[in-house]
């Protein structure tokens, strides 16, 4: 487990992914602007969290991210995660009484994620289509309460670019 942005007790980092997310250009020249750019703040702390988290993501066959928004301020991590992905969405307003509601919701969350890949090494039409085919959206499932009837052995081949 990695707390990439610290915890309430230690090295809690609040901010944005990069300077392009700060609309007030007057702030771009502030001396300590790097303390509000999350990846830069980790680097300045010298805690190796960016390197360790990237290694964890690259080495994982399966990973679960729970309690994290699909926000732009974590673009760095969405790019890493975009190489293999299952998104669990907790959406209390989701109405699954008709399949088209679920199809629209899955397209919506997939689009949000894909928008984070813009202007990255993954922002190429052929790669975006490949990634889109490998995004699996799960809405409102009790994924942590699953009970297997009998032990099952399986291996999921990670999606690599």
Q: Note whether residue 117 is domain-resident.
A: yes
Pair (15, 87) in one structural domain: no
Pair (6, 52) in one structural domain: yes
Q: Which residues form the domain of 73?
A: 62-142
Q: Which of 52, 49, 22, 50 is nearest to 34 (CA)?
A: 22
Max intra-chain CA distance, the chain: 60
| Banded model confidence at residue 152, pLDDT cuts 50, 70, 90 | very low
Pair (45, 85) in one structural domain: no
Q: What is the pLDDT of residues 45-102, one digit of tens each?
A: 999 998 988 888 778 766 566 556 667 777 777 777 776 666 667 778 888 888 899 8
Residues 128 and 111: their CA atoms lie apart, in Å, by 11
Residue 83 is predicted with a pLDDT of 64
Pair (49, 78) in one structural domain: no
Pair (23, 76) in one structural domain: no
Residue 149 is predicted with a pLDDT of 52
Q: Note whether residue 152 is domain-resident.
A: no
Q: Which of 16, 8, 10 is nearest to 74 (CA)?
A: 16
What domain count does the chain have? Answer: 2
Asked which of 59, 77, 102 is the last residue of a domain, the reply is 59
Pair (104, 133) in one structural domain: yes
Exposed (0-12), middle (13-18) or buried (19+): which is 76, by Cβ within 10 Å? Answer: buried
Pair (66, 138) in one structural domain: yes
Q: Note whether residue 9 is domain-resident.
A: yes
Asked which of 29, 59, 89 is the last residue of a domain, the reply is 59
Pair (26, 73) in one structural domain: no
Q: What angle do CA 63, 64, 70 make, to 5 degrees?
A: 115
Q: What is the CA radius of gyration of the chain?
A: 18
Residues 29 and 38: their CA atoms lie apart, in Å, by 17
The pTM score is: 0.53
Q: Note whether residue 77 is domain-resident.
A: yes
Q: Note whether residue 52 is domain-resident.
A: yes
Rounded to the nearest 5°, which phi and psi values hold at 33? -60, -30
Pair (67, 124) in one structural domain: yes
Q: Which residues contact 151 (CB under 8 A, 6 or more apart)?
A: none
**86: helix, strand or coil:** strand
Residue owning tokens 């729970």: 66
Pair (84, 106) in one structural domain: yes
| Banded model confidence at residue 161, pLDDT cuts 50, 70, 90 | very low
Pair (72, 124) in one structural domain: yes
Contact between 70 and 113 under an 8 Å Cβ cutoff? The reply is: yes
Asked which of 44, 59, 74 is the last residue of a domain, the reply is 59
**Average pLDDT of the chain, as a whole number:** 76
């Amino acid at each position: 487990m990695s707390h990439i942005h610290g915890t309430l007790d230690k090295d809690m980092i609040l901010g944005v992914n990069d300077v392009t997310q700060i609309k007030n250009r007057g702030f771009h020249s502030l001396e300590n602007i790097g303390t509000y750019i999350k990846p830069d703040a980790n680097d300045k702390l010298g805690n190796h969290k960016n390197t360790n988290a990237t290694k964890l993501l690259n080495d994982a066959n399966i990973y679960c991210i729970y309690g994290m928004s699909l926000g732009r301020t974590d673009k760095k991590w969405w790019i890493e995660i975009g190489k293999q992905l299952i998104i669990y969405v907790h959406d209390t307003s989701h109405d699954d009484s008709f399949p088209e509601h679920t199809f629209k919701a899955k397209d919506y969350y997939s689009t949000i994620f894909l928008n984070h890949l813009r202007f990255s090494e993954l922002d190429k039409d052929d790669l975006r289509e490949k990634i889109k085919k490998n995004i699996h959206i799960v809405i409102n499932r009790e994924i942590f309460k699953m009970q297997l009837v009998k032990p099952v052995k399986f291996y999921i081949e990670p999606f690599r670019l």
